[in-house]
Structures are given as C-alpha cells and as structure tokens.
Amino acid sequence: MLFKRLLLSVFVLFISVNSYAEVTYTTLSPNGNIQLDILHRTAGDVMYRVFYKGKAIVTPSGLGLRFKAPEVTLTQFTILGVDSSANDETWKPVWGETNTIRNNYKQFVLRLSDKGKSGIEMVVTFRVFDDGVGFRYSFPQQAKLNHFVIAEELTQFGMSGDHKAFWIPGDYDTNEYGYYTSSLSKVDATGGGFAQEIHAKTSFDKNAVQTPLMMKSADGLYINLHEAALVNYPAMNLALNKETMTFNSHLVSDAVGNKAYLQTPAKTPWRTIIVSDKAPEILMSKMILNLNEPSKIVNPSWIKPIKYVGVWWEMHVGRSSWDYSGGQVGSQQATKVPHGANTANVKKVY
C-alpha cells in the first residue's frame, strides 16, 4: 500500500478561546466533495462534523468511550500529535459486481491522551473517501493500559434535520424485522406492523434503530450509517435523542452487561457515513469493502458464488405467516395464509 505524505491536505484553523473550538483540523476527500472537520474544544472534548458539497451531513458530534475496567471515561483529551496521508490503489475482490475496486482516500490520524489522571493514550483514525467517511478508535500497547473492558462507546452522529428514515428497531435478539419508513422523529421501536410476528425480540430503547440505517434529507441527500471490520467487538445500534436529532452509539452487551473485552494493541470497527445526492450511488459504494481487513486466504480460487433460493423472506414481507398455531398476516387469518416453511411451498419454490 502506497502512502504519500500530504501535510498540505489538512488545514488547521486557530480560533479564539471564546469560540466553539480551540482548534479545527479540516480534511477534504480526493474529489473535494466531502469535508471532515475535527474540533478540539478548550475543555478537551474532541468532536467531528461532515459536509457534502457544502451541506451539513453530520453536525458537531462527540467521540469517546467509557471503560468498566479500569473505570474511566475517555471524552476529554490532550492532543499529542496529528498526521495526514493519502492512499490510491486498486485491488481484486474474490467475487462481486466489479473485477477491481479502487481504494482512494485521505487519512487523518489524531493521537490523544486522556486529560484526566489515567494517562491512557488513544488514536482516532479518519479516512475520507469521495463517497463518505470512516473512523475508528485504537489503543496502542502502553504501560497504563493492558487488558480492559468497554462499558459503552460514546460515538455520536448528529443529524442536520428530521430526515426520512428506513429503519428496523434496535434489538438484541433479531434483525429480521421488515423495514419501517418514517421521519426520525416518528421512530418507535416498541412494535407495531411487522414486529408483531417476531416473538424472539428484545427492544432496549423505543428510540433505537439498527445499522445499516438509511436516510434521505429534505434537500435530497442520501445518508447511510453503518460499520466495517466488525471483528472481536459487539455490533452497534443507534439510540436517537429526538430533541437534538443526535444518534448515540449503543453496543450489544453480553449476559453481564459488558460490551467488549480487549487487550492492547486493540482497535474498534470503523464507523461509516456514506453520502450521495444519488440513491444508486449508496448501493454502489465500495467504502465498507475498502475498510474491511484484506483477506487472509492466500489462494481463494476454490471460493465460488452460488445462488440460494428459499421461502423465509416471503414471511418477512407478509406473503406468508411465521405463526404455526394461528395469527394474522396483515388482515388475513393464518388459516388462509399458513406458515411459509411447509412442504408444499418448498416443493413449489424448488
């Protein structure tokens, strides 16, 4: 991978102590359409914001984590250093829609130290692509941190408006809901519609949704929030503060409420924000593939794509029922629309 130092690609704007941030770092995507600002406030808070063609996508949003062991909250930092670079390469996927994928981004790395007594050092790495932004936390090997337990990740995604959203409820047990469509202010994860047919479900917050979350702004921008390189770490849900239109990350916990058990050196998954003014470009984006780790399979020639045909998905969209003993699919009785996984239906499909 070829990295080229681009110190001039990051602009540093010093602002008066009385204004919002003490210092702002700005990085642009290779084509200049996406702008990432990193804000370091006088109290030590580190925040970020994202613009697409001059329009706000993510308003100033917080970064940080809370540990259970050692018991410390990392939200106020001293900046130890910053670095910038660029990457432009192509690689060949094993299979997919395209034969080659271009991996072209500007990178900005922020080295931080806890402003409290812990002395813990943390790195936040941002990659700015032409179609979005990815960022992750990492913890280098260090004397003051070895094994640690994450209680919660404190990442925020501030939305610039009450966007139209395509969402499923935040849930610990299932992601097999049918998708709801509503404004963000109308999100209600407690049930209704498709949720009534799913019995193994655990909703933890009425304002919570799962990722990937797709949205459309009033001025025609399409925004997708998700994650990449999810390895040895819990999946991320998003809990919405409807007063500020800010999503707060919510990690799936284990049986005792802990979120992750890590040892330095360690890194979290990438948090991803994909944006475009054309809906098909969200689907065509390869940003998440570029942020995933390269394959460790030396010779992947044995991997062949196949086609799967089954009956389960028709139960998600209301063509048949999940219920063995009776119930409803919309206004139809289950006796008229039986459980979809039956012998006659499977023979018909195959």
**All residues at 6 or more sequence positions from 189 whose CB lies less than 8 Å from its CB, including other chains:** 169, 170, 171, 203, 205, 206, 207, 208, 209
The C-alpha atoms of residue 90 and residue 268 are separated, in whole angstroms, by 25
- Of 287, 340, 313, give the one whose Cα is nearest residue 87: 287
Predicted confidence at residue 308, as pLDDT, reads 72
Instruction: Provide the 3-class DSSP secondary structure of residue 2.
Output: coil
**Contact in structure between 247 and 239 (CB atoms under 8 Å):** yes
Question: Is the pLDDT confidence value at 10 over 50?
Answer: no
Predicted confidence at residue 156, as pLDDT, reads 98
Least confident of 103-112, 133-142, 217-226, 296-305: 296-305
**Fold classified for 3-159+226-291:** Beta-galactosidase; Chain A, domain 5 (2.70.98)
Question: Is the pLDDT confidence value at 8 over 50?
Answer: no
Q: What is the DSSP letter of 343?
A: H
Residue 320 buriedness (CB in 10 A; 0-12 / 13-18 / 19+): buried
Secondary structure (DSSP) of 235-292:
PEEEEEETTTTEEEEEEPP-TTS--EEEESSEEPPEEEEEEESSHHHHHH--HHHHHS
Predicted confidence at residue 324, as pLDDT, reads 61
Predicted confidence at residue 17, as pLDDT, reads 39
Predicted confidence at residue 284, as pLDDT, reads 95
**Contact in structure between 139 and 266 (CB atoms under 8 Å):** yes
Predicted confidence at residue 307, as pLDDT, reads 73
20: left (phi over 0), alpha (psi -120 to 50) or beta: alpha
Which is higher by pLDDT, 7 or 266?
266
Per-residue pLDDT of 46-95, as tens digits, reads 999 999 999 999 999 999 999 999 999 999 999 999 999 999 999 999 88
Phi, psi of 130 (to 5 degrees): -65, -20
Tell me what the mean pLDDT of segment 140-159 comes to: 97
Question: Is the pLDDT confidence value at 243 over 90?
Answer: yes
Token representation of residue 105: 């981004």
Among 13-17, 189-193, 292-296, top mean pLDDT goes to: 292-296
Give the pLDDT band of residue 305 (cuts 50, 70, 90). Answer: confident
Predicted confidence at residue 194, as pLDDT, reads 53
C-alpha angle with apex 273: 38 to 289, nearest 5 degrees? Answer: 120
**Contact in structure between 84 and 36 (CB atoms under 8 Å):** no
SS (H, E, C) 178-205: CCEEEEHHHCCCCCCHHHHHCCCCCECC
Per-residue pLDDT of 115-127, as tens digits, reads 998 999 999 999 9
**Contact in structure between 20 and 3 (CB atoms under 8 Å):** no
Predicted confidence at residue 320, as pLDDT, reads 76
Side-chain-facing half-sphere of 328: CA atoms under 13 Å? 8
Token representation of residue 111: 């080295």
Which is higher by pLDDT, 164 or 42?
164
pTM of the predicted protein model: 0.85
CATH 2.70.98.10 in the chain, residues? 3-159+226-291
The C-alpha atoms of residue 135 and residue 127 are separated, in whole angstroms, by 6
**Contact in structure between 36 and 26 (CB atoms under 8 Å):** yes
